[in-house]
Chains A and B, each alone.
Chain A
Amino acid sequence: MTELPDMLAAGPEIFLAVMGMVLMMVGVFSSEKRALGIVSGLAVASLVVTLASVVWMADGRIVAFSGLFLTDSFAVFMKTLVLLGAVLVLIMSENYIQREGMARFEFPVLVIYATVGMMMMISANDLISLYIGLELQSLSLYVLAAFQRDRGRSSEAGLKYFVLGALSSCLLLYGCSLIYGFTGTTQFEALAVLFTGKESAASPGLVVGIVFLSAGLAFKVSAVPFHMWTPDVYEGAPTPVTAFFAVAPKIAAIALFLRVMLEPFGGLIDEWRQIIVLISVASMVLGAFAAVAQRNIKRLMAYSSIGHVGYALVGLASGSEAGLRGVLIYMAIYLVMNVGAFACILCMQINGRMVEQIDDLAGSAKSHPMMALGILVFMFSLAGIPPMAGFFGKFFIFTAAIEAELYTLAIIGVVSSVVGAFYYLRIVKIVYFDDLLEPFDKPIGRSLGTIMTLSGVVTILFFLYPAPILDSASIAAAALFPG
């Protein structure tokens, strides 16, 4: 029977889902001009309340809804990141959606439902709840990608994302059905019991199932060779939506990937490690080399995010608590860097029109010194140059890989991050040393400026006071490695 304590464990999710419905009512019944402003303000407020309740209700490991749902400190950490990402993106996007003719109040509502889906993914304790959470998230994201329905590129992005996303869901479901067929259960704890302490518990059918499952998940985190949709969707989608894609869903999908691989299938690490190593190497290398040729900054960020997923998967491949902790720290830093970088990209407008080419940035240091400083900080951090935060993210991951004796993987990772540094530094060079062609509009808006400053300060000063992130990541990582 479902009793009240069960409901309490999922309290933040239930609250957010109900708020989504309330906001729709508010949007319908308020006047058309003011609807978006009111709804996005309330949406930010309800996301903040949800964030507070997630942190406040954090209380060990609770399994609810007859084993379908679970919260633990790992889930709390990841949900905090996802909610932070959603809040920041909503604040950043307000100006843009007013300007670019997509001012409809459904935008914040869809962001809320995507966030609910992500929280369900993070808290999934069963293959079925995993799938439902994933679908809720993906469906909202398909609509968000096509939100500028009068622009061909946005519709194209939405359609591409939808078709390929449906395909990947099929792969994932097929994998789930094989796993269910060969084990007789879909619950993570029951699966974990089956595989612990047995040397060769995996039948070939089960391994095929795990391969399909990880292919579906690799699509959702856009790891090579399942990355083809990413550059097109990132380029075509409206810029705030791209910023959202780059942070929240990626963090949620990585969280899901970590939990699925380490909790139910942790005993089969020898079976799946080679898959993870392969896609991680491919993502790092492709992310580094393919980005060099890009002219559009959103495409460049897409390849950059592919590369970053590759680094995060190095931590998963090491399969240890240190590796998991590395991934968690990496994702937290990744969130801050990417939000900052996209705040800079959202400033790129000339005469009220958005521009997306890297060459448009030429010489902007002369007209916008603060924005240029922001770009400098975020690009250095994305490249992993000390003492920026991005360096420490990579540092913890590669240390874990070396401890797990994955030397080749660590070396490939370091080499590809050196290659990646080329294109990040080229942007800095264009901003600071090229001639100014056409200055960007001023002022950039208070919310964008604040977010840029905040994330810039966190990125620079992380090395002075890293304890909060490092400690909570340690606690979160310990949740998946009991005993």
Chain B
Amino acid sequence: MIIQALAFYLFAFVAVAAGVLVIASRNPVHSVLFLILAFFNGAGLFVLLGAEFLAMILVIVYVGAVAVLFLFVVMMLDINFVELRSGFLQYLPIGGLVGFILLAELLVVVGGWVIVPEATSVAAAPIPPIDQVTNTEAIGRLIYTKYIYLFQASGLVLLVAMIGAIVLTLRSRAGVRRQKISDQVARRPGEAIEVVKVTTGSGI
């Protein structure tokens, strides 16, 4: 238990610290790197909760795709972040208000659980208890049996999105020199090399 608690405090502290540094650091590339650190610590917290599937998803999707995408955007677009931050104080009241509303909503949700303890049983997921199957297996069972129809249909939606992106943006340009591997392989030394006997003291 001690190790678990220690791990929790380590992950939680680093996550919060990294979150603060995302906002505070001057260099946007550092911000994104701190964001990745925060994601990794969040994944660690998920593992402590026994939600290893979510932890892996967080690492693969958020770190692997989203954060790296951010990094590319930050590096490729020359955005002046100091200028962006100039109105910080001006928008502080609105930001504070949004934060306050979010806090109030969190309190309402948690307060509901405290006042009506049965509410958690309604919200419980329709899967077997965690000590019988791992949650990856439980999600897999649901997705591939009960919700197979929705799972496959979502796949179709993504397929259509892919076709759409290709239809609307792909253009075949003239004059592009594509690599033709078969031509390269079929090439013989005789076609490519010409042996010239050069007499000493004169050029070709």
Contact = CB atoms under 8 A, between A and B. Distances in A.
A139 B160 contact: yes
Given A146-B168, A149-B168, A132 B157 contact: yes
A66 B153 contact: no
Contacts of A52: none
A246 B149 CA distance: 28
Given A113-B156, A133-B153, A106 B148 contact: no
Interface string A1-28: 1100000001000000100010010000
B76 to A, nearest CB: 25
B147 to A, nearest CB: 8
Contacts, number: 66
A116 to B, nearest CB: 7
B164 A143 contact: yes
A48 B124 CA distance: 46
Contacts of A69: 149
A1 B145 contact: yes
Interface string A114-138: 0011001000000011001101100
Contacts of A65: 148-149
Interface in B107-137: 122
B167 A147 contact: yes
B161 interface: yes
Contacts of B153: 120, 129, 132-133, 136
Interface in A139-168: 139-140, 142-143, 146-147, 149, 158
A292 interface: no
B145 A132 contact: no
Contacts of A110: 160, 163-164, 167
Interface string A175-210: 000000000100000000000000000000000000
B168 A143 contact: yes
Say what secondary structure dominates the interface of chain A: helix
Q: Which of B145, B164, B168 has the most chain A CB atoms closer than 10 A to its own CB? A: B164
Nearest to A24: B163
B149 A140 contact: no
A104 B167 contact: yes
A69 B145 CA distance: 14
A406 interface: no
B146 interface: yes
Nearest to B163: A106
Nearest to A14: B152
Given A17-B156, A116-B156, A184-B122, A139 B150 contact: no
Nearest to B169: A149
Contacts of A135: 157
Contact of B164 (A116, A133, A142): A142
Given A68-B150, A69-B149, A109 B157 contact: no
A139 B148 contact: no
Contacts of A142: 164
Contacts of B150: 68, 128-129, 132
B113 to A, nearest CB: 16
A128 B151 CA distance: 11
A64 B160 CA distance: 24
B157 A136 contact: yes
A68 B147 CA distance: 8
B25 interface: no
Nearest to A140: B160
A238 to B, nearest CB: 13
B27 interface: no
A1 B144 CA distance: 9
A113 B155 CA distance: 12
Nearest to B144: A2
A143 B122 contact: no
Interface string A49-87: 000000000000000111011000000000000000000
Nearest to B166: A106
Contacts of A117: 156
Given A135-B157, A136-B156, A136-B157, A143 B167 contact: yes
A283 B150 CA distance: 34
Given A66-B146, A128-B150, A136 B160 contact: yes
Interface string A91-107: 00000000000001010
12 contacts: A2-B148, A2-B149, A65-B148, A68-B150, A69-B149, A113-B159, A113-B160, A117-B156, A129-B150, A132-B154, A140-B164, A149-B167
Given A117-B156, A128-B150, A146-B168, 13 more contacts: A2-B148, A66-B146, A104-B167, A110-B163, A110-B167, A129-B153, A132-B150, A136-B156, A136-B160, A139-B160, A140-B160, A140-B164, A143-B168
Interface of A: 1-2, 10, 17, 21, 24, 64-66, 68-69, 104, 106, 109-110, 113, 116-117, 120, 128-129, 132-133, 135-136, 139-140, 142-143, 146-147, 149, 158, 184
User: 6 tightest A-B contacts by CB?
Assistant: A143-B164, A65-B149, A132-B153, A106-B167, A68-B149, A139-B160
